[in-house]
Chains A and B, each alone.
Chain A
Amino acid sequence: MPIASSHYQQKIDEATNFVRDRVNSVPRVAIILGTGLGKLATHIKPEVTLPYDEIPHFPQSTALSHQGQLVLGTLEGIPVVAMQGRFHLYEGYSSSDAVLPVYIMQKLGAEFLVVSNASGGVNPKFTGGDIMVMNSHINLMFRRHSELGGHNAIPGSPDQPGTLIYDRELIDLALQTGREHNFYVHEGCYVSLTGPNYETRSEYRMVRKIGGDVVGMSTVPEVLTAHSLQMRVLALSAVTNIAKPDTLSETTAEEVVDIARLAEPRLTAIVISLLRTL
């Protein structure tokens, strides 16, 4: 287990206790709802909703289309904790702040992390609106987690050699859900950059060349943290725009949000399938 600095550990403990005092159930699944995918929260039967600014030490959300609240309740009868609104490194949060909620959700009891994001597709087989289940990532964010102590305390370092970050059973479940509901789910590699600018044509070519299928500005810090805490991770990417570097057209945030909404029912179906297996 990673060793957090005592100051950081204290933040985790205080925030966790604050949430625990307000909720009876112990969440089994933590869900981070990314760009344009916040409506999954409407499927949750809420027990309590906590705005981020009421939770001690919780950072505040600023990104487009993101609200900022922690929803605790049940989804398909399973107790869950969901982040409606997340923290991106491009907003200026340190890595340590951006992943603090993951520590808190794990401490509340969550064994699974389900995380979603919007991404730009560089794999030419992908189409806008497709879903990709992440089976790997390439971290090009160049950010360190500054508040951990101990040489073996880096999130994502293999505490249990041999365990994969992206859980194979959960990937297969996502692929199967796609077949059952008659939509295509790709499996692939997510390249994370900090942003906030969209990529240049040369950067899209680079991402493709080094093995990426999609590129985005989130998810990897949270996933690394969850893995270091031995949570099982399911990471889903809504491919919102297709980057064709040789005929590139402009990408706008509004367009990304619109297409992410089209992917929403599919994403919801996969998460519900997961919960039904529990």
Chain B
Amino acid sequence: MLDLHEKIEDAVAEIKKHWDKTPHAGVILGTGLGSLVKEIEVEVTIDYGDIPHFPSSTAISHAGRLVCGTLAGLPIVAMEGRMHMYEGYPLKMITLPVRVMKALGAELLVVSNACGGMNPNYRCGDIMIIEDHINLMGDNPLIGINDDRLGPRFPDMCEPYQQPLVDRALAIARKEDIVAHKGVFVAVAGPNLETRAEYRFLRTIGADVVGMSTVPEVIVAVHCGLRVVGFSIITDMCLPDALKPANVEEIIAVANGAEPHLTTLVKGVLAEEKS
């Protein structure tokens, strides 16, 4: 784990060759949400393959590049395409970009994902502001010898998603007439979708939505001291007693349909960072 520090420095050095601003925020764009990038005033894009120690992205509908520019008037770096545990990447590699964002100077991490809704009050296409999470991935990106330069051995997790940011996102949603909930995201490794019994189990332990990403990045963000705001788009409803087979094309279509809402919320949250 102690080589992580050098890997971060290598990646930062390469990025700074192309873009020398200090980002206020890092943004991770999940499944079907990649075209939020269109809202960014792009200054530089760098393929993951050109950044030392960055993995290539293989998942469906994911590009794989770092976009540097301005969003809502703030300098940001955005990951277009993310890596997932189910692709076989180690969590340390998946979360390296978060540490790089921090090392570039970011204070805030904005994460988004597509997820399955288990709370029966949610509907397909709704947005959930992540209030808390449960890690059931069976792995943790912080396992290994701790590098105290990067963060504490035992990071506290009582508020990984800052309550003021949750409140801010909900207020913007009300103002813009967007359906937004706040709830608990449970992360599983996947890649299979859950069985009906697993949905019942995940609901019973207190989760509102389920997905296969985000939690590793958030754990690392908390470890390295970034504030976090997280958005889930509910792309299919997973109600165990009325379950239909999931369709990846439909999921992506729903994600794309909800994207303007997500864009509004992300821009709104960032715009209030300035004040």
Contact = CB atoms under 8 A, between A and B. Distances in A.
A202 B206 contact: yes
B60 interface: no
Nearest to A91: B145
Interface string B203-214: 011110000000
B219 to A, nearest CB: 6
A253 B158 contact: no
B197 interface: no
A93 to B, nearest CB: 9
Interface residues of A, number: 29
Contacts of A63: 153
Interface in B112-139: 132-135, 138-139
A198 B154 contact: yes
B260 interface: no
B134 A197 contact: no
A200 B205 contact: no
Contacts of B159: 248
A195 B156 contact: no
A278 interface: no
Nearest to B140: A194
A277 interface: no
Grouping DSSP codes into helix (H, G, I), strand (E, B) and loop, the A interface class, with mixed when no group exceeds half, is loop
A202 B210 CA distance: 13
A184 interface: no
A206 B207 CA distance: 9
A253 B154 contact: yes
A89 B143 contact: yes
A256 B133 CA distance: 23
B132 A90 contact: no
From A91, A249, A256, name the one whose CB has the most chain B CB atoms within 10 angstroms: A91
A199 interface: yes
Contacts of A142: 138-139
B143 A253 contact: no
A90 B135 CA distance: 15
14 contacts: A90-B142, A90-B143, A91-B144, A196-B140, A197-B140, A197-B154, A197-B155, A200-B133, A200-B135, A202-B132, A206-B134, A248-B158, A250-B156, A253-B152
Interface of B: 1, 132-135, 138-140, 142-146, 152-160, 184, 186, 204-207, 219, 222-223
The 3 closest A-B pairs by CB, nearest first: A142-B138, A92-B144, A206-B205
